Amino acid sequence: MSKIDILNKEGDVVGDIELNEEIFDIEPNEYVVHEAVVQYLANQRQGTKSAKTRAEVRGGGKKPWRQKGTGRARAGSIRSPLFRGGGVIFAPKPRDYRKKMNRKKKSLALRSVFSDKNQNKELRVIDVLEFEVPKTKEMIEILDNIDAPKALIVTPEKDTNVIKASNNIPKVHTTTVGEINVYDLLYYDTLVLTKDALKKIEEVYKKR
């Protein structure tokens, strides 16, 4: 098993911890990671856009002018897509863009990115990340101390003070172990885990 240093808020090493090889030291599967990102982005789409076809636009029951003799092109309805106020050709309709991905693939994708972060020295483990009062300035100092300017901070459970302390920092996002997704892991350069979050990840994502 590989080891990683445990840091405190000042960026000093206060110990080390062994990482589970099945989660943090596998060969990353790029195909599955790509599939997970595509699924995540597809599931973010609302699919609510809509427009009316000529069959749904109100009015246009009377033929606007006679078929022949006017010198104009033939027309059967002023709600034709050719007229202002008419229907839309191939109008977009509400649809579901969601994609499915089985649990084993999701787990493999996450473990692949965890391993990539570890292998590229983009993983930080901090012993405790707690705030009596949420202060953005204090969070900025902590991230500077552990060399994590663009970071995804993961806590075991929702921590309101951590969220408030990091909300106004550009390129910093907080999440919980249960809400981690591949897209966020790839978007942020550094993964910052509390020691408790690391233990929970190893419990949740270990191979069964």
The domains of the chain are located at 3-45+100-205, 47-96
For residues 176-199, give the mean pLDDT. Answer: 95
Q: Which of 37, 18, 8 is nearest to 198 (CA)?
A: 18
For residues 173-182, give the mean pLDDT. Answer: 94
Q: pLDDT tens across 89-138, in order?
A: 999 999 999 999 999 999 999 999 999 999 999 999 999 998 889 999 99
Give, in words, the CATH class of 3-45+100-205: alpha beta
Distance CA 206, CA 208 (A): 6
Give me the chain's average pLDDT, please: 93
**pLDDT for the residue numbered 132:** 87
Overall pTM > 0.75: yes
Residue found by looking up tokens 């856009």 in the block: 49
Question: Could you please report the per-residue DSSP string of 28-91?
Answer: --HHHHHHHHHHHHHHH---------TTTSS---S-SS-SSSSSSPP-S-TTSTTSTT---TT-
